Amino acid sequence: MGMRAETFAPAETIQKSPSSWSILGRELIKDKLAMSSLVFLIIFLIAIYGSTFFIDQAAVTKVDLMSIKAPPSSDHWLGTDLAGRDIFGQVVLGARNSFTIGFMITILAAAIGLTIGLIAGFFGGIIDNVIMRFIDFVLVLPFLMLVIVFVTIVPKYDIWAFIWIMTAFLWVGKARLIRAKVLAERELDYVQASKTLGTPNWKIIAFGILPNLSSIVIVNMTLNLAGNIGIETGLSYLGFGLPDGTPSLGTIVSNATDPNILQNYWWMWLPASLLILVLILAINFIGQALKRATDARQRLG
């Protein structure tokens, strides 16, 4: 009798398994470090994009010989550089450019990597083989050196050229990850059932497999965003990043290539460096929390 009663348990006690989005959200709230990182990131984004209306790039980049190398004061919150330009204004503009461009590279690399990874993993066979040989090859190439070479030899170098050069190298890692996941996914019953029912391949990929990959893609994109901002600012530091006229946080840090500035004028490079560090750490903490959420064994709650 008891068993029967259980079999006919009222329907409302059956829990719907939570969607991948609500799992990601719940993990973020549980993890205090990730939550405070998220709050910081939101305030940071509002500040840098909102201030665009108040900060005028011409005024920030204006050379003011009366106030060269001025230490931080109420006029110039973070002092001025060798040409008397306000560092604080440059940091705000640089942060905006670095974040925007890192974000665009991440989106583009994800879009291309996702498409190619889905195709390689789903169809397999010779297509997969050719694509994977190519990906393995690109992954071995000396990435930084080639980016620097392309940045130097591209005619009419501008922001888009930089974005595409970076994307050309960065989609491969993503495609490899997605392909591995699709390989596992396509053996599952629901894909086999759809195939048997005659669902067209693109529908299985777009509406069957893709939603199941969404959480992995989100996690990977978050971590890549942090990495891409790091690479962009690093290249800009070396002088092979964003073109002249588009200040990056890395461009400000490159003041420190002069040992005299590195040693004696900390405000010209340290605040921008710390901002890069904090920004990347915050995005990473969010990414790590999301990563834990995708692995049921590691969740906090």
**d(Cα 29, Cα 211) in Å, to the nearest integer?**
23
**d(Cα 182, Cα 212) in Å, to the nearest integer?**
9
* Residue partners of 112: CB distance under 8 A and separation at least 6: 167, 171, 174, 175
**d(Cα 245, Cα 248) in Å, to the nearest integer?**
9
Interaction between residue 238 and other proteins (CB under 8 A): yes
Instruction: Look up residue 207 and give its two tokens.
Output: 């509406």
CB of 267 to other proteins, least distance (A): 13
CB of 226 to other proteins, least distance (A): 6
One of 273, 294, 299, 300 touching other proteins (CB under 8 A): 273
Interaction between residue 255 and other proteins (CB under 8 A): no
Interaction between residue 68 and other proteins (CB under 8 A): no
Closest CA to 68 of 274, 261, 258, 262: 261
- Which one of the spans 15-23, 64-72, 87-95, 145-153 is the region binding other proteins (CB under 8 A)? 145-153
One of 89, 269, 292, 293 touching other proteins (CB under 8 A): 269
CB of 109 to other proteins, least distance (A): 18
Please report the sign of the dihedral spanned by the C-alpha atoms of residue 29, residue 30, residue 36, residue 37: negative
Touching other proteins, residues 146-175 (CB under 8 A) = 146, 148-150, 152-153
DSSP symbols for 149-188: HHHHH-SS--HHHHHHHHHHHHHHHHHHHHHHHHHHHTTS
- Which one of the spans 119-127, 170-178, 186-194, 234-242 is the region binding other proteins (CB under 8 A)? 234-242
CA 240 to chain centre: 20
Which residues in this chain contact other proteins in the complex, by CB under 8 A?
Answer: 133, 137, 140-146, 148-150, 152-153, 226, 230, 233-234, 237-240, 253, 256-257, 259, 262-263, 266, 269-270, 273, 276-277, 280-281, 284-285, 288
